[in-house]
Structure 1
Amino acid sequence: MKKYALLLLGLTIFFVGCNNDDNQIKNGETPTMNPGSTAIAQNFMWQAMNLWYFWQEDVPNLADDRFSSNDEYTSFLEATANPELFYYQICNKHAALFGNQNSIDRFSFLNDDYTELVSNLSGVSKSNGLEFNLNYFQDGTNVFGYVLYIVPDSDASTKDIQRGDIFTRVNGQQLTGDNYVSLLFGNNDTYTLGMADIVDNQIVDNDTEVTLTKISNQVENPILVAKTLDINGTKIAYLMYNRFLGNFNEQLNAAFGQFVDAGATELVLDMRYNPGGSVNTSRLLASMVYGTNTNELYIRQRWNDKIQDQLSASQLEDYFANTTGASAINTLNLDRVFILATNDSASASELVMNGLAPYVEVIHIGGTTRGKNEFSITLVDDPENSFIYDEDREGNINPQNSWGIQPLVGRNENADGFFDYTNGLTPDITLNEDLTNLGVLGDPNEPLLARAIDEITGAGAKRSFSVQMAAKSFASSRLQTPLRDNMYLDKPLNVDIELTNPWE
């Protein structure tokens, strides 16, 4: 599959080395790693993060004047031999490494093979096609999983397993908080799940087993369900959308074309399990919902001060679109939309909700979202291109350093200037999923969709939506891939920017 460049930005940056006999770093000079040092990956990470990291000015070890000499800089790099540990140490408050959910940066990550990172950001991974959440039993130690959905054309799609099924064991071992990562997400391409039933609101093991095998280069079409429902004469479009992947933009636009042709006047946009992805795809989706008003602002970017001051309004602002780049946008031109979202909804999903809010009545049904409002870019060891990954420059990437990093580099705000939803977007109508009745996605009787239909038709007071066993979770298969809940910037800026000395 053709690799997808996350940012086509022609930046030129001049690093000024220090040739002083005393090895001191003078004003306006850049710290330089001493010749012969083996901290090649660490040097790349520090230089890239010093330039691009959103919270650069808040991290003392990334300060422009942190080092007085190249010897001191080199010693700092070499003090942490593990590049992964070094990277998380220069992220704000080490959040990604130590799991501190109160830290500012919860989402920056990296990969020791940038080619794998780029492939996964395009939706390509090794997977058996089973998407599930995990939760603890009341003992706080043992773990069970419940199936969210099955990816079509995957290994799981050929097995006797479906949405709502419960499993407690892998290869005969009870899942626990200590072993679930190695058993479900380790190097074992094949594993056997031990299934369970819900009896009187209790999870009880049964003898059924399901063996699944991960397939390399499994591609998931993010459009799981797209259909138009006719409910008492009202045409309601329903879209179950599970990732923002740019290589499926045409299929997304085609789905909206079908909604338009069917005469849909309402939309239920189901992003309850959507952890995010492409910023540009979020803009296209918002345009398909609201309209092709290219003079109306969708979102505005905010970078760190080094970058922000170098960008024009046209580079920082994204407007609603009238084309995908290949075809005219099919839009429903709605003034309201019903969005199903939960704590599994993050980044680009939240961006759509926030970006639409100034123009469209957004009725949010479900639970509070994850609260990820920053975007990232892919950085590699290509200093002549300011570390931005560009598939056309792979020959310029340092062959001694295959690491790729995906740091948070900016934040998006909507046309009203609102961006502060780090605690998540709260629902207008709270409704948890029920383990005893997850329902069939796209079926009018599935509880969250049924609740939206009742709001649309005015039957909200006629039906009760009681929940016997709330489908809560502490982990998700969606977040155990390199793509995770990343929101990545893929907007071409198409302008050369000269940062002659960002440390001056």
Structure 2
Amino acid sequence: MMRNIKILTLLCLVSILNISCFEDNDDNQIAANAISDFVWKGMNVFYLYKDNITDLANDRFSSNAEYAAYLNSYSSPESLFESLIYERETVDKYSWIVDDYIALEQQFQGVSTSNGIEFKLFLQPNSSTDLVGIVRLVLNDSDAEAKGVQRGDMFNAINGVPLTTANYSSLLSASSYTINLATYNDNGTAENTDDTVDASGESIDLNKLEYGENPIYYTNIYEVNGQNVGYLMYNGFIANYDTQLNNVFANFKANNVQHLVLDLRYNPGGSVNSAILLSSMITGQFNGEIFSTEQWNSDFQTALENEDPELLINRFKNNDDGAALNSLNLDKVYIIATNDSASASELVINSLDPYINVMHIGDYTTGKYQASTTLYDSENFTREGANPNHTYAMQPLIFKSLNKIGNTDYDNGLTPDILMNESYLNLGIIGDANETLLATALADITGATSKLTLLKSTTSPSFTFFKDSNSFERFGNEMYVEKPLPNNILNHTILE
């Protein structure tokens, strides 16, 4: 999504919409809620689905008094913002407003508070209320890693209190808590009607500390049938780590990697620029060609098309701010992606697809193709000059991404080439050649059809999914862009 977009001149837009105070017909000032004024103005200018929201129409208000009354009819900036969202449950599940943009900025930089466990919550067998948590990942250099938490660990209680659909949020949102470990008991039968989750008597105390996650979780090179296969588990498109990402590809290149397995199974997204750089490192032969294009609301789209259509195009690169990219020039890539893979992860798959053979292994992805920006309460909605009297900011969807041939709107996610689900009772070790999803990629690379058939036929007890740890991170699935618009991009009247 698009963050810190630099529009230095809004001119007519800002002059027309800058109405925190108004004059009514009797020349009396009418005070409107300043934050709500910021909310409406920002959504009117940038919101992707503006055309679908009657209250965001340019001619919605016939007078300043009517506009002021409208703003004051909402009890809070949050309630106004929510009223302007298009089909919250199905289309726009991702636009947000916050009252603390400092925390938001830190999260975009990969800094937050975390105890280091990523987990999924499932309903326990034969229950509609009792939950069990399974650790899917332990973050490097985290409190959980130091305490010995392992991928695949199961817990059914927090601080001795059994986890349920009613209490999970309050228990797991605490800054410190104890996970009470458990085991899965199938009672020696093939059916799951008698399966239980039993307390093991062990527990681990965890503390959420300020944590900066390096998205480069694990990397390795495997020698398979005389060929070198690079493997990278990449857990977030965080611009601060682009140089380190380039160094990983330098190592791949130096070791003559002929195949690449890119593991995005838990990657919720992030910087579009990082997605472009990663895709350019995988390839390299498409420098300057279209990576993706953008579609904004009709007013903004028209302005961009009239002033500089190139601003709607993101292109493959061969350098990062002058530093040459280490590109592999591959014509095929294996990408592990699941329903936990979102936004910028999906952008990589979708945008590479018209150019090279993308072998998607795993599950259907999240289905998030829209991008957002952080809007601040300033004259041009940027951080500079933000109103010092509050720390509200918005993160509305502002455009949707299309690949070179126009593919977008994949609401149900991207379809895997090899459908393969993780078994949460046998997750395996990340980077181990026998871990199911990596083993599937390696089997396809080597043409081991019998092993591939065996992997596909492996079954395990199924769980009913409830929530995962990303749901505790409000902006876990963001996709943003950092590119300036020229000073004159809106140097004309959009509202005619």
TM above 0.5, one fold? yes
After TM superposition, the structure 1 stretch with the greater mean CA deviation from structure 2, 70-79 or 107-116, is: 70-79
Q: 2:73 aligns with which of 75, 79, 84?
A: 79
- State the AA in 2 paired with 1:301: E
8 Å contact kept, 1:40–1:401: no
Are 1:331 and 2:327 counterparts?
Answer: yes
Q: Structure 2 matches for 1:348-497, cutoff 5 A?
A: 348-383=344-379, 385=380, 387-389=381-383, 393=384, 396-463=385-452, 464-465=454-455, 466-470=458-462, 473-497=465-489
- Matched with 1:27 is none
- Matched with 1:36 is 31
8 Å contact kept, 1:300–1:413: yes
Q: Structure 2 matches for 1:140-151, cutoff 5 A?
A: 140-151=128-139
Q: Structure 2 matches for 1:218-229, cutoff 5 A?
A: 218-229=211-222
- State the AA in 2 paired with 1:457: T
Q: How large is the RMSD of aligned CA atoms in angstroms?
A: 2.0
Q: In the aligned structure 2, how far is the partner of 1:202 from the partner of 1:85?
A: 43
Change (3 A) 1:23 1:366: farther
The one-character-per-residue Cα deviations of 1:57-78 (angstroms, maximum 9, x if unpaired) are: 1011211122222222222212
- Matched with 1:112 is 99
8 Å contact kept, 1:167–1:193: yes
Give the C-alpha shift of residue 143 in structure 1. 1.4
- Matched with 1:197 is 183
- State the AA in 1 paired with 2:144: A
Give the C-alpha shift of residue 382 in structure 1. 0.6
Give the C-alpha shift of residue 85 in structure 1. 2.3
Change (3 A) 1:470 1:495: farther
8 Å contact kept, 1:279–1:348: yes
Report the secondary structure of 2:150's partner residue.
Answer: coil
Give the C-alpha shift of residue 89 in structure 1. 1.4
8 Å contact kept, 2:340–2:366: yes
8 Å contact kept, 2:38–2:377: yes
Give the C-alpha shift of residue 416 in structure 1. 0.9
Give the C-alpha shift of residue 34 in structure 1. 5.7
- Matched with 2:189 is none
Give the C-alpha shift of residue 118 in structure 1. 1.3
The one-character-per-residue Cα deviations of 1:85-109 (angstroms, maximum 9, x if unpaired) are: 221111113x1xxxx2xx2111111
Q: 1:139 aligns with which of 111, 114, 127?
A: 127
Report the secondary structure of 2:201's partner residue.
Answer: strand
8 Å contact kept, 1:277–1:488: yes
Report the secondary structure of 1:191's partner residue.
Answer: strand
Q: Structure 1 regions of 5+ residues with no counterpart?
A: 25-32
Q: Structure 2 regions of 5+ residues with no counterpart?
A: 187-194
The one-character-per-residue Cα deviations of 1:81-136 (angstroms, maximum 9, x if unpaired) are: 2222221111113x1xxxx2xx2111111211112111111111011111111122
The one-character-per-residue Cα deviations of 1:195-239 (angstroms, maximum 9, x if unpaired) are: 1112226432211111100112x1000010111111121211101
Q: In the aligned structure 2, how far is the partner of 1:233 from the partner of 1:471?
A: 39
Change (3 A) 1:169 1:34: farther
Give the C-alpha shift of residue 293 in structure 1. 2.7
Q: In the aligned structure 2, how far is the partner of 1:195 from the partner of 1:283?
A: 41
- State the AA in 1 paired with 2:216: I
Are 1:306 and 2:292 counterparts?
Answer: no
8 Å contact kept, 1:238–1:269: yes
Give the C-alpha shift of residue 401 in structure 1. 2.9
- State the AA in 2 paired with 1:159: K
Report the secondary structure of 1:474's partner residue.
Answer: strand
Change (3 A) 1:226 1:359: same
Q: In the aligned structure 2, how far is the partner of 1:491 from the partner of 1:23?
A: 45
8 Å contact kept, 2:122–2:466: yes
- State the AA in 2 paired with 1:152: N
Change (3 A) 1:223 1:127: same
Q: 2:8 aligns with which of 4, 7, 10?
A: 10
Q: In the aligned structure 2, how far is the partner of 1:21 from the partner of 1:437?
A: 68
Give the C-alpha shift of residue 20 in structure 1. 6.6
Q: In the aligned structure 2, how far is the partner of 1:481 from the partner of 1:57?
A: 29
8 Å contact kept, 2:23–2:65: no
Q: In the aligned structure 1, how far is the partner of 2:386 from the partner of 2:424?
A: 48
Q: 2:85 aligns with which of 91, 101, 117?
A: 91
Q: In the aligned structure 1, how far is the partner of 2:270 from the partner of 2:349?
A: 14
Q: In the aligned structure 2, how far is the partner of 1:247 from the partner of 1:334?
A: 25
Give the C-alpha shift of residue 294 in structure 1. 2.3
Report the secondary structure of 2:444's partner residue.
Answer: helix
Q: 2:156 aligns with which of 151, 159, 168?
A: 168
Report the secondary structure of 1:92's partner residue.
Answer: coil
- State the AA in 1 paired with 2:387: N
8 Å contact kept, 1:51–1:502: no
Q: In the aligned structure 1, how far is the partner of 2:165 from the partner of 2:284?
A: 46
- State the AA in 1 paired with 2:317: A
Give the C-alpha shift of residue 21 in structure 1. 5.4
- State the AA in 2 paired with 1:106: K
- Matched with 1:238 is 231
Change (3 A) 1:23 1:8: same
The sequence identity of aligned pairs, in percent, is: 39
Change (3 A) 1:152 1:326: farther
Give the C-alpha shift of residue 462 in structure 1. 3.1
The one-character-per-residue Cα deviations of 1:285-343 (angstroms, maximum 9, x if unpaired) are: 10011115323110111111111122222211111110111521111111111111110
Q: In the aligned structure 2, how far is the partner of 1:317 from the partner of 1:495?
A: 18
Give the C-alpha shift of residue 494 in structure 1. 4.0
Give the C-alpha shift of residue 436 in structure 1. 2.0
Give the C-alpha shift of residue 23 in structure 1. 7.4
The one-character-per-residue Cα deviations of 1:246-296 (angstroms, maximum 9, x if unpaired) are: 010001111111111111100111000001000010000100111153231
Ranges of 4+ aligned residues in structure 1 off by more than 4 Å: 17-21
Are 1:257 and 2:257 counterparts?
Answer: no
Change (3 A) 1:159 1:192: same
Question: Normalising by the residue count of structure 2, what TM-score does the alignment of the two structures yield?
Answer: 0.91
Q: In the aligned structure 2, how far is the partner of 1:408 from the partner of 1:370?
A: 16
Report the secondary structure of 1:498's partner residue.
Answer: coil
The one-character-per-residue Cα deviations of 1:146-183 (angstroms, maximum 9, x if unpaired) are: 11111111111111211011111111111112211111
8 Å contact kept, 1:432–1:467: no
Change (3 A) 1:363 1:67: same
8 Å contact kept, 1:23–1:70: no
Q: Structure 2 matches for 1:248-327, cutoff 5 A?
A: 248-291=241-284, 293-311=286-304, 312-327=308-323
8 Å contact kept, 2:237–2:344: yes
